[in-house]
Amino acid sequence: MEQSPLGKASPAKAFVFDLDGTLLDTLTDLAASVNHALQLHGLPPRSRAEVRRFLGNGVRNLMLQSVGGRLDEAEFEQALSDFRTHYGQHCMDATQPFPGIMDLLETLHRRQIPMAIVSNKLQSAVTELNRRFFAQYITTAVGESETVRRKPRPDAVLKALEEMGVQPAEAVYVGDSEVDWETARNAGTQLALVLWGFRDEADLRRLPGTDLFATRPADLLQQFVGDRVGE
């Protein structure tokens, strides 16, 4: 059942944010890199709606679904490499924070509440995007790597919380997908799902045990901090 922004969730001592679809609107740049790789291999482009649906489980899964079994293993690995190269060069062409996100982070920073990013995006891209947009607020940013298992496994969330010195039950995980829902459950944190991201609202509202369905960033403050943006 949905709780109101003024529900009974416990105050959070830390926030852990998903990146794509939660903090940043990255869809345009991701779709451009997907279609660049597909074009190089003679495949038809994917629509923004298709790419949006494929997001959430890392870039390999994104490209697997985009290719749709139309390349052999060696060709797929090259297409994945082509995507990675293009996205590394173009990951900030059109990407921007969602409306209200910077005010949210400013307020949390002012309240001295630590924040982290946990993403299935490549570590290099997570580092670069955090540097570009959020470095004044967020120093812990964990992406996909060989040493940390991807979400929905809890490894990255637990690593981030350890760096911030916060126990899982004291934190809230904020995401926009069923992968984030499962990640929070596996990590033992509270959970907020945002409704401005890359999943349809009706699908998210079917996920049980969610502490908040946020329609705007300010809802996160009201629910987990007892504050309003700018106060």
Show which residues are catalytic: 18
- Element containing residue 190 per DSSP (H, E): strand 190-194
Distances in whole angstroms, Cα of residue 149 to Cα of each of 32, 58, 146, 157, 199 = 27, 11, 7, 10, 23
- Element containing residue 87 per DSSP (H, E): helix 73-90
Distances in whole angstroms, Cα of residue 35 to Cα of each of 39, 84, 106, 123, 144 = 6, 12, 35, 22, 22
Q: Distance between CA atoms of 226 and 8, rounded to whole angstroms?
A: 11
Query: Tokens 């004044």 label which residue?
Result: 136
Residue 111, both tokens: 């309240």
Given a contact cutoff of 8 angstroms between Cβ atoms, the answer to whether 154 and 92 are in contact is no
Which residues, including other chains, have CB under 8 Å from residue 142's CB and lie 6 or more apart?
116, 117, 118, 119, 123, 126, 148, 156, 159, 160
